[in-house]
Amino acid sequence: MALVTSGSGVGPVIAEVEMNAGSRPGRHHRARHRRPGFHRFLRHPCHSRPDAFQQIDARDFIFNNNNIFTTDKAERLIAEAAGHGAQLVVFPEAFVGGYPRGSTFGFGISISILNPKDKGKEAFRRYHAAAIDVPGPEVTRLAAMAGKYKVFLVMGVIEREGYTLYCSVLFFDPLGRYLGKHRKLMPTALERIIWGFGDGSTIPVYDTPLGKIGALICWENKMPLLRTALYGKGIEIYCAPTADSRPVWQASMTHIALEGGCFVLSANQFCRRKDYPLPPEYEFAGLDEEPSPETVVCPGGSVIISPSGQVLAGPNYEGEALITADLGSNEKRFADLGEIVRAKFDFDVVGHYARPEVLSLVVNDQPQLPVSFTSAPEKTPATKSDNSAKPY
């Protein structure tokens, strides 16, 4: 495996900038540095590897009215990963459409719906314009990229359905096909003001030649029952796009790898204040003063962890980078099933270690629609579930 560094993390770091203007800013610290270039960490010789992308320059990606710049950069990064032999490429949460770090959408002081801030409404209008339709032209282009570079692609997006936005992950295969999506089931804190809630119809696990692939987004990875739903579907490559760069996030990722007996790939962005539009178009709330242009507002922390809890690559806080790891030596299957089996010998959370006569989980995987019509077809594009995944 290798860590490919494209930049350095010089400058002050904000460990986490909450979207809540009333909260206190995170503790400031300096970014850790390593020598730039390639850092070799030999594990298993393998002809295929996954890639967790982080540290993506956010400039022009927040509140733009089209996503040409975003998808252009995505293609450059996918091409770079494919050049290193990648078969699976994972991007951070909200890569397309942007994570509105530091923004309050006018609800920083008062959350009364009787007097919402007009400024916040305009910010939401721009954010809505920057989101994408699924399906839509950006989805078509992302599918073409996956087919062109022959990779499985897991992409974080802000999805627009009508006038509601969802934080979603889209899945694509090397044949250039859009497989489906996962919508964030429970947005965190002020995310609930701007994002809708997903439901049980978009919790897919795809049985691919690389292994069984699924994803949860950021803090919904802390939901034990939601994780259990993925374990119940046999997930082997667990993707966790996130916006959380705190050191404690690494503990959560290690725990999930051990709990699920699966490989965990978490991808986060690296960005500075200068990567966002200038005030007053875009302001960072909750801080004593506007961050300087070089202030790091998200230091990344992408990581890849084995089913035994061993860190295979990362966490990286240096700057824009591509991290990779070999997950197995079997050329016919991506994930090393032997390592997964060894991890589950003494703990299989939905197998021999389960006690279904005492504890059980029921998942409602039907779409939850606010309006339904008896004359409509049984399944339309708006109601089709992304929950089931056919094997290859």
What distance in Å separates the CA atoms of residue 258 and residue 113, rounded to the nearest whole number? 43
Give the strand pairing for 38-40 and 2-5.
antiparallel
C-alpha 225, offset from chain centre: 19
| Token pair listed for 99 | 């994570």
What distance in Å separates the CA atoms of residue 369 and residue 366, rounded to the nearest whole number? 9
Q: Which long-range contacts (CB under 8 A, 24 or more apart) does 252-257 make?
A: 252/221, 252/222, 253/221, 253/303, 253/305, 254/305, 254/309, 254/311, 256/221, 256/227, 257/305, 257/306, 257/307, 257/308, 257/309
What distance in Å separates the CA atoms of residue 220 and residue 223, rounded to the nearest whole number? 5
User: Residues 6 or more apart from 332 whose CB is under 8 A from it?
Assistant: 209
Contact status, residue 227 vs residue 262, Cβ threshold 8 Å? no
Name the nearest CA neighbour of 309 among 238, 235, 247, 257. 257
Name the nearest CA neighbour of 91 among 62, 52, 55, 57. 52
User: Helix (H, G, I), strand (E, B), or coil: what is residue 61?
Assistant: coil
Sheet strand arrangement including 2-5 = 38-40, 2-5, 321-324, 49-54, 86-90, 152-161, 164-172, 178-183
| Token pair listed for 124 | 């939401």
Contact status, residue 326 vs residue 335, Cβ threshold 8 Å? no
93 is catalytic: yes
C-alpha 353, offset from chain centre: 29
Contact status, residue 276 vs residue 305, Cβ threshold 8 Å? no
Catalytic residue among 93, 138, 159, 220: 93
Which residue type is seen at 173?
A: D
Tally of CB atoms within 10 A around 118? 9
Catalytic center residues: 93
